[in-house]
Amino acid sequence: MRGTAAHIVRTLLLSLITLFGVSILIFLMLRVLPGDPARVLAGLNASEEQVSRLREQLGLDESLLTQYWGFITGVLQGDLGESARTSRPVTAEIAVRIPATLILAVVATVIGSVVGVAAGVIAAVRRNSFVDHAISSVAMMGVSMPVYWLGLLLILLFAVTLGWLPAAGSAEPLSIVLPATTLAAFSTALISRMTRASMLEVLGQDYIRTAEAKGAPPRTVIIKHGLRNAFIPVLTVISLQFGALLGGAVLTETVFGWPGIGRLLVDSIAARDFAVVQGIVLVYAAAFILLNVIVDVLYVVVDPRIRY
Amino acid sequence: MSSPVLSIRGLTTEFVTPAGVVKAVNDVSWDLYPGETLGVVGESGSGKSVTAMSILGLVQSPPGRIVAGEILFDGRDLLTMSARVLRQLRGSQIGMIFQDPMTSLNPVLTVGQQIAEALQLHDRGLSREQARARSIELLTMVGVPNPEGRYDQYPHEHSGGMRQRAMIAMAIANDPKVLIADEPTTALDVTIQAQVLDVLRTAQERTDAATILITHDLGLIAEHADRVIVMYGGKVVEVADVLSVFAAPRHPYTLGLMTSLPRLDVELERLDPIPGSPPSLIDLPTGCSFHPRCRVSKGRDVCRTQVPPLYEVGGGQRAACHFSEEVPAEMAVAARAMGTDAGNGAP
């Protein structure tokens, strides 16, 4: 366990370099985007004078190096700057949106993991049966259907036709059901395919035969001896999916009017609100690194052969 | 002799493959008596392991299927009993030791947990502590040093020899009546093999289990078995007590196995292998399936046209050969070629 602690500290220290690189990249990428933020903010009818005043106000007339220095020293002090649109601190803007995104990602990941692993195990145990083929077909649909399309279909059925669930927003507790289901569809499909493949490999191993020779009933063989071994690669997929859901829920958030961070990011890019975009990207990067560290620790828990 | 603890009658196990039906075990019958060690020899693909898997009901289906025969254990047919009842026998009445201890233990469970599981599966009333204490006792019995510490270690922290000891502990945990050891030392270092075999013998003496020792190693048979069954192409070709087999084999294949062994007492230019290769189990040769490789047959028609039954050849020895009476003469020829006395054929 001491090795694991040292590994975590090392990973976190190394990640500082990663974050530094990310900050430079996103800073430069925003600057090469076509379109002048000052002009976008000032509006179509603004005079040249107004635009240049705004530009000065935002510090955009200074050299890139000076601008970056201002940005990075702010970051180190926990200050991500101010939104050009709302004039509120970027940290506040992000903090308001994070809970909605986080809860959506967590619920979708939980759905995806539970349903995906269960479906994958059943498909592996009953391989080449009708059930296996049915699960494969549904999973194929889940992987290939665009989320906005699936989202609209679900809204049409459950909100409009049946009226069981709210169509959009986040006001009611049940509001999360449709966006989370939509978001979980792809993960569920992916996780079930991964689980099936991994289970099939594990179920052919010698130690499965040993467990059977001991007189273990099928459930014990499949869950205790099979799934624990098969889960190791599945864990990787689940964590990657969770990371993707944290950042990639833009379409789902848009379809369902979900006030998450994905929409804030897209809106901010459209408005050339540099400070907000930079802030969100940095937060994403930090979250991904944290997630990887957590998964590294989980590997140790699941697989005793892994030690750092 | 007392009545057998395990009787196999006409066992036929097939595998359906795209290339055709593989007859892995073909009308095999034999008995296992209490307390004895029965050696089952034969080359790869002779049906030794599939016979063992058939006894345990662990033949993967599909592609495998047992198409005929019965396996009587304590008078009950293992092949027709319910899965649940068979499961209760597996690991309690019939213990199994597999070939490769490196892959036969679950990597994510401690060695101790896996032994304790074998106990708890067949004794629901056993508490965690009791199972642990008994497992540590078993580890001690199979000669694992520092058993308390070893109990909590994972398989990857054990050497091959230690793992195989743990496998033996697991197999004998519930004092089985029958112990099946499928090539128990093949995957181990030569220096470890002898130790593991000693452990196996001790374990067997403590539990008084009748043992089926599956191997391709005649030396192992000579040292450990009481009786021998020789398999070829999915069939039993010779049955005898161990002394008779080595003194006077009556099937040309058994003779071939013995003369192809390297020997310590004779200077040989080269080994004397059995010519040809093992038969295809999809398309067995007609008649006696050994005839294309046989040096006794000498092209006689009956070998090609008729399947030889297991003939009684005297002294409880049986051989599936039309010309088993010619085998001793052939052995003398082989012995002369080696410059040794035929009577002391034991390796």
Do B143 and B218 fall into the same domain? Answer: yes
pLDDT at B273: 80
pLDDT value at residue A159: 86
Write down the pLDDT at residue A7.
83
Say if the Cβ atoms of A215 and B105 lie within 8 Å. Answer: no
pLDDT at position A138, please? Answer: 92
pLDDT of residue A262: 87
Rounded Cα–Cα distance for residues A269 and A37 (Å): 10
The mean predicted confidence, pLDDT, of chain B is 87
Rounded Cα distance, A197 and A124, in Å: 7
Average pLDDT over residues A134-154: 89
Q: Is residue B328 part of a domain?
A: yes
Judged by average pLDDT, the poorest of A203-217, A246-260, B31-45 is A246-260
Q: How far is A217 from chain B (nearest CA, A)?
A: 7
Cis amide linkage into residue A218, ω under 30° from 0: no
In chain A, which residues have their Cβ closer than 8 Å to the Cβ of B61?
A: none
Cβ–Cβ gap A228/B108 under 8 Å: yes
| B100 and B246 belong to one structural domain | no
Across chain A, mean pLDDT equals 87
User: Which residue range is the domain that position B154 belongs to?
Assistant: 6-225
Q: What is the mean pLDDT of residues A32-46?
A: 76
For residue B338, how many other CB atoms are within 10 A of its CB? Answer: 15
Q: Smallest Cα–Cα separation from A31: which of A73, A67, A56, A57?
A: A67
Query: How far is the CA of A308 from the CAs of A7, A262, B6, B158, in angstroms?
Result: 6, 35, 50, 19
Cis ω before B18 (30° cut-off from 0): no
What's the CATH code of the domain at A209? 1.10.3720.10
Q: Tell which of A85, A111, A145 closes a domain.
A: A85
Range of the domain at A142: 99-263
Nearest to B117 among A206, A214, A304 (CB): A214
Q: Between chains, do B90 and A228 touch, taking CB under 8 Å as contact?
A: no
Closest-CA distance, B168 to chain A, in angstroms, reads: 12
The residue that leads in pLDDT, A173 or A179, is A179
> Do B74 and B184 reside in the same domain of the chain?
yes
* Residues with Cβ within 8 Å of residue B199, at least 6 apart in sequence: B142, B143, B165, B168
Residues of B in contact with A305 (CB under 8 A): 107-108, 154, 156
CATH number of the structural domain spanning residue B340: 3.40.50.300
Q: Same domain for A154 and A19?
A: no
Residues A124 and A228 in one domain: yes
Strand partners of residue B20: B17
Interface of B with A (CB under 8 A): 56, 58, 87-92, 96, 98, 100, 103-110, 114, 117-118, 121-122, 154, 156, 167, 170
Question: Do the beta carbons of residue A157 and residue A151 sit within 8 Å?
Answer: no
Sorting pLDDT into bands at 50, 70 and 90, what band is B340? low
pLDDT above 90 (res B101): no
Task: Kindly identify which residue of chain B lies nearest to residue A220, measuring between CA atoms.
Answer: B121
Q: Do B253 and B119 lie in a common domain? A: no
Nearest to B291 by CA among B300, B142, B313: B300
pLDDT value of position B268: 64
Average pLDDT over residues B54-75: 88
What pLDDT band is residue B1 in, cutting at 50, 70 and 90? Answer: low
Comparing B262 with A98, the larger pLDDT belongs to A98
Q: Which CB contacts under 8 angstroms, 24+ apart, belong to B313-317?
A: B313/B250, B315/B240, B315/B241, B315/B244, B316/B240, B316/B241, B316/B244, B317/B238, B317/B239, B317/B240, B317/B241, B317/B244, B317/B245, B317/B248, B317/B250
Q: Are residues A80 and A107 in the same domain?
A: no
Asked whether residue B1 is assigned to any structural domain, the reply reads no
Nearest to B29 by CA among B68, B85, B76, B81: B68
A35 exposure class (CB count in 10 Å sphere: 0-12, 13-18, 19+): exposed
- When pLDDT is cut at 50, 70 and 90, the band that residue B345 belongs to is very low
Q: How many whole angstroms separate alpha carbon A305 and alpha carbon B292?
A: 50
Same domain (yes/no): A255, A120 = yes
Query: Which residues lie below 8 Å from residue B39, measured CB to CB, with a gap of 6+?
Result: B213, B215, B220, B221, B224, B225, B227, B228, B229, B242
Contact yes or no for A205 and B103 at CB 8 A: yes
- pLDDT of A147 > 90? The answer is no
Q: What is the rounded average pLDDT of the residues B10-34?
A: 90
From the list A207, A213, A302, the residue facing B106 with the nearest CB is: A207
- Structural tokens at position B149: 């510490």
Segment B330-345 shows an average pLDDT of: 66
* pLDDT value for B239: 94
**What percent of chain A has a predicted confidence (pLDDT) above 90?**
28
Residue A308, domain member (yes or no): no
Residue A305 lies in a domain: no
Determine which of A20-34, A209-223, B333-347 has the lowest per-residue pLDDT on average: B333-347
Question: Averaged over A141-161, what is the pLDDT?
Answer: 88
Confidence band for A248, pLDDT divided at 50, 70 and 90: low
pLDDT at residue B266 greater than cutoff 80 = no
- Mean pLDDT of the A137-157 span: 88
d(CA B289, CA B60): 26
Does B139 lie in the same domain as B268? no
Whether the Cβ atoms of residue A231 and residue A266 lie closer than 8 Å to each other: no
Does residue B138 surpass a pLDDT of 80?
Answer: yes
Kindly state whether residues B216 and B250 are assigned to the same domain.
no
Radius of gyration (Cα) for chain B, nearest Å? 21
Confidence check: pLDDT of B283 > 60: yes
Is residue B306 scored above 50 in pLDDT? yes
Does the pLDDT value for residue B124 go beyond 90? Answer: no
- Same domain assignment for residues A48 and A111: no
pLDDT (tens digit, 9 = 90+) per residue, B148-207? 999 999 999 998 888 988 999 999 888 899 999 998 888 778 888 888 888 888 888 888
pLDDT tens-digit readout, B230-250: 999 899 999 999 988 888 889
- What pLDDT is stored for residue B346 in this prediction? 45
Q: What is the pLDDT of residue A62?
A: 80
The total of structural domains in chain B comes to 2
Report d(CA B155, CA B259) in Å as an integer: 39
End residue of a domain, out of B225, B251, B272: B225
pLDDT at A273 over 60: yes
* Chain A residues touching B87 at Cβ < 8 A: 215-217
Q: Are residues A104 and A253 in the same domain?
A: yes
Contacts of B103 in chain A (CB under 8 A): 205-207
Neighbours of A168 (CB within 10 A): 15
* Three-state helix/strand/coil letters over A158-185: HHHHCCCCCCCCCCCHHHHHHHHHHHHH
- Least confident range from A34-48, A82-96, B20-34, B49-63: namely A34-48
State whether residue A214 is helix, strand or coil. Answer: coil
Is residue A102 classed as helix, strand or coil in its secondary structure? helix
Tell me what the mean pLDDT of segment A158-169 comes to. 83
Which residues in chain B are closer than 8 Å to A211, comparing Cβ atoms?
106, 117
CB neighbours of residue A10 within 10 Å: 11
Hey, what are B81's tokens? 């009993």
Please indicate, yes or no, whether residues A135 and A79 belong to a single structural domain of this protein.
no
Average pLDDT for B221-233: 91
**Closest Cβ–Cβ partner in B89, B98, B106 for A225:** B106
Binary contact (A209, B58; C-beta < 8 A)? yes
Domain membership of residue A301 (yes or no) is no
> Which residue of A210, A212, A216 is in closest CB contact with B105?
A210
Mark whether A164 and A245 lie in a shared domain. Answer: yes
| A115 vs B267, higher pLDDT | A115
Q: Are A77 and A133 in the same domain?
A: no
Q: Is residue B150 part of a domain?
A: yes
Nearest CA in chain B to A231: B108
Residue A144 lies in a domain: yes
- Please give the tally of structural domains in chain A: 2
Say if the Cβ atoms of B87 and A217 lie within 8 Å. yes
Q: Is residue A286 part of a domain?
A: no
Q: In degrees, to the nearest 5, what angle opens at C-alpha B318 toward C-alphas B315 and B323?
A: 110
pLDDT at B331 over 90: no
pLDDT tops 50 at residue B271 = yes
- Based on the domain organization, do B243 and B140 belong to the same domain? no
Q: What is the pLDDT of residue B267?
A: 67
Q: How many CB pairs under 8 A join A and B?
A: 73
One domain for residues A152 and A231: yes
8 Å CB contact of B87 and A213: no
Decide if B117 and A303 are in contact by the 8 Å CB cutoff.
no
pLDDT higher than threshold 50 for residue B342: no
B94 and B64 together in one domain: yes
Residues B57 and B72 in one domain: yes
Structure tokens at B170: 């697991």
pLDDT of residue A222: 93
pLDDT single digits (tens) A89-135: 988 989 998 888 889 999 999 999 999 999 999 999 998 899 999 99
Domain final residue pick, B225, B252, B285 = B225
| Boundary-marking domain end, from B225, B255, B275 | B225
